[in-house]
Amino acid sequence: MPGKTPDKEPVENGGYRGGKDIDMKDKDLKPKGKKASKKEGDDEMTVVVPPSKTQSSAPPPNDADGDISMDDSDKMGDEVKVDPVVQTMNADIKSNFALLDRAVALFDARFSLRALRSISSIRKRLTPDILAQVVSETYPSSSPSSSFARQILVMVGRPDMSLGRQPGPEMEIDSEPKAAGKNGAKKEVKEVIPEIDVFLGILTQVLLHDSKAFQKGFEFSSYLVDRIRSLSRRTLDSLSAKVYFYYSLFAEQISPMPPSSQSPIVSIRPALLAALRTAVLRKDVDTQASVIVLLLRNYLLTSHIAQADLLVSHTQFPENAANNQVARFLYYLGRTRAIQLRYTEAHEHLTAATRKAPSSACALGFSQTATKLLLVVELLMGDIPDRATFRQPNMETALHPYFLLVQAVRVGNLEDFETIIADHADTFRRDGTYTLILRLRQNVIKTGIRMMSLSYSRISLRDICIRLHLGSEESAEYIVAKAIRDGVIEATLDRERGFMKSKEIGDVYATREPGEAFHDRIRACLALHDESVKAMRFPMNQHRLELKNAQEAREREREMAKEIQEGDLDEDDLGGEFEGM
């Protein structure tokens, strides 16, 4: 049995020895990373859970249960101490196998999604030991995916653990006849389904990411991606979406870091594009959504805006994608549009992104980043953002530089504006809003002119020039003329005498503006209604029940009809009488 020789490492292992871990400047990972970095002391809770609970937590596949109970009795001899945390973790992870099993059996992606959702809670407590133990217990050494399992073991740094540890003793010690009698037949047939492989693979990715072994993680991810492609099972859809996510996350962390065109993220583009193609052909919504988002992020990180734009125009983002993916997609789209000066679209997308972002604290980073960009876009559109935005307690400090910026723009003070840019240049550059903010200069000037036009009915160009710190009177004249043409102010210029004369401000209610605002709101409400109708869920096979009910109803109807028929005569008689009358 190959699995029994623990020191025989897989060939691929040679490469990993040399691969050094890149030490990480813990760069703020923008939206996605934030989600990950939440750690809480949930441990106490899990310690309390008695080991006996493990049995009940995984009801349907009997053999998982069997393994665990074997585990309990076996542990005593095998290892001296059994950590209860390890035990519960073990069971937690395995209970997901049951979900995955069911997902495959019923072909319902919701079970895989539930398994994926549990990753975040498992993540906090995951250690290499636990994972290695689960792996070694899950895979019998003769299983076809044993090479994969061993790969995981190598990755988590426990290459000397043997596979099929629990099943092995089980056979030898006691349960051989019993198992054969009870569920042995099932056991022979049942092998570890690839979904479980991939699920454990994801856990490995998570573990490697949390331990900052990025190079290792990247190599493992490439391996995992290859494996998914070769497996090509539809039940893997939602799992593979996750795998690609970590794949590209690892790629981002390896030096040279993203802005450089030499970053490995450039080299993973073909893989992602291939995955996108497959996903689109298969109508695999999860992978499609997450890969589109990853590609967009990828392009934007290297500032390939044209490519990002082309990607968006050539693909269709799946309508019923997960909410979080939609939020990310909208954010990246908004960013692209903002760079392309399509502010109205950018504003629309970013507003939607901030609203769709989860309101809980776990995605605070995303909300902050999206809000920052949204603020800048609003400023660029000539709007002044709502002050309440800056008062939200969890955003206040992050948004402070932007608050100062808004103040400067609102007053139209060019001097303040320049100093704020200079002071906070690093912050803005880190947020990727610097180039956008530089474009604000013209807005500051416009606001300044507007303020001037509102306060004075007539003002000389010289004064405008002095107050706005413009280069010369001539410049001021051109700038004011342009502002008049762009509809910023209602005024006329007098060239000979060199002043600007403001026109009377019309009644805003006489214009079409209130109507438009009203229309916008109604449209938003209608869209909300439509979306909530679309969001309603109907459980599978429910219609059969209804059909059954319908059939019963029909039968009842038939009976009723029969009764009526029987009583028909009476009715007829009655009718006759009526007719007769």
Partner 1 sequence: MAEHELTTVVNQLRSSPPTTPYTTTTSLLSRAKLLLLQLNALTPSPSVPVQHLVLARDIYELGALASIRAKNPDAFTRYVSQLQPLYEVLQGHADAAEAAANSVSGERNKITGLYLLLLLTQGRYAEFHSELEALSSSMSSMNDVEADRYLGYPIRLERWLMEGSYDRVWKAMKKGEVPCEEFGVFSEILTYQIRSEIASSSERAYPSLPLSSTKSLLFLESEGAVVEFARSRGWIVKDGQIYFPSAQEEEGEQEKEISQMMIENTLGYARQLETIV
Q: Which of residues 505-534 bind partner 1 (CB under 8 A)?
A: 512, 515, 519, 522, 526, 529
Which single residue is written with the structure tokens 């309390």?
Answer: 48
Tokens representing 270?
């073909």
Return the residue of 48, 384, 438, 561 that touches partner 1, per CB under 8 A. 438
Q: Is 539 in the site for partner 1 (CB under 8 A)?
A: no
Q: Is 483 in the site for partner 1 (CB under 8 A)?
A: yes
Q: How far is CA 306 from the centre of its chain?
A: 23
Q: Is 482 in the site for partner 1 (CB under 8 A)?
A: yes
**Nearer of residues 223 and 434 to partner 1, judged by Cβ:** 434
Q: Is 304 in the site for partner 1 (CB under 8 A)?
A: yes
Q: Report DSSP state, residue 384.
A: -
Which of these segments, 40-48, 199-207, 340-348, 568-576, binds partner 1 (CB under 8 A)?
A: 340-348
Q: Is 485 in the site for partner 1 (CB under 8 A)?
A: yes
**Nearer of residues 1 and 522 to partner 1, judged by Cβ:** 522
Q: Is there a contact between 121 and 91 (Cβ–Cβ < 8 Å)?
A: no
- 235 vs 196: CA distance, rounded Å: 11
**Nearer of residues 238 and 443 to partner 1, judged by Cβ:** 443
Cis peptide preceding 84, ω within 30 of 0:
no
Q: Is there a contact between 197 and 148 (Cβ–Cβ < 8 Å)?
A: yes
Q: Is 394 in the site for partner 1 (CB under 8 A)?
A: no
- 264 vs 140: CA distance, rounded Å: 36
Q: Is 427 in the site for partner 1 (CB under 8 A)?
A: no
Which of these segments, 114-122, 252-260, 289-297, 556-564, binds partner 1 (CB under 8 A)?
A: 252-260
Q: Is 381 in the site for partner 1 (CB under 8 A)?
A: no
- 134 vs 197: CA distance, rounded Å: 11
Q: Is 575 in the site for partner 1 (CB under 8 A)?
A: no
> Side chain identity at 513, as an amino acid letter?
E
Q: Is 440 in the site for partner 1 (CB under 8 A)?
A: no
**Nearer of residues 209 and 269 to partner 1, judged by Cβ:** 269
Which of helix, strand or coil describes residue 83?
coil
Q: Is 475 in the site for partner 1 (CB under 8 A)?
A: yes
Listed in sequence order, the DSSP H helices in 412-541 are: 414-423, 425-431, 434-438, 441-455, 461-467, 473-485, 513-535
Return the residue of 2, 19, 256, 575 that touches partner 1, per CB under 8 A. 256
- 97 vs 108: CA distance, rounded Å: 14
Which of these segments, 147-155, 242-250, 334-342, 379-387, binds partner 1 (CB under 8 A)?
A: 334-342
**Nearer of residues 177 and 487 to partner 1, judged by Cβ:** 487
From residue 125 to residue 164, what is the string marking binding to partner 1 with x (rule CB under 8 A)?
A: ----------------------------------------
Host H or E run for residue 33: helix 30-36
Which of helix, strand or coil describes residue 459?
strand
Tokens representing 393?
């307690």
Q: Which of residues 455-474 bind partner 1 (CB under 8 A)?
A: 470-472, 474
Tokens representing 48?
């309390």
- As a residue count, the chain comes to 581
HEC string for 290-359 = HHHHHHHHHHHHCCCHHHHHHHHHHCCCCCCCCHHHHHHHHHHHHHHHHHCCCHHHHHHHHHHHHHHCCC
Tokens representing 75?
């542990």
Return the residue of 75, 124, 410, 439 that touches partner 1, per CB under 8 A. 439
- Could you tell me how many residues of this chain bind partner 1 (CB under 8 A)? 49
C-alpha dist (Å) from residue 552 to 133, 541, 545, 558, 562: 54, 17, 10, 10, 15
Q: Is 392 in the site for partner 1 (CB under 8 A)?
A: no
Q: Is 340 in the site for partner 1 (CB under 8 A)?
A: yes
Report the nearest approach of partner 1 to the CB of residue 262 (Å): 5
Return the residue of 87, 302, 368, 371 that touches partner 1, per CB under 8 A. 302
Q: Is 187 in the site for partner 1 (CB under 8 A)?
A: no
Positions that interact with partner 1 (CB under 8 A)? 256, 259-262, 302-306, 309, 339-342, 425, 429, 434-435, 438-439, 441-442, 445, 470-472, 474-475, 478-485, 491-496, 512, 515, 519, 522, 526, 529
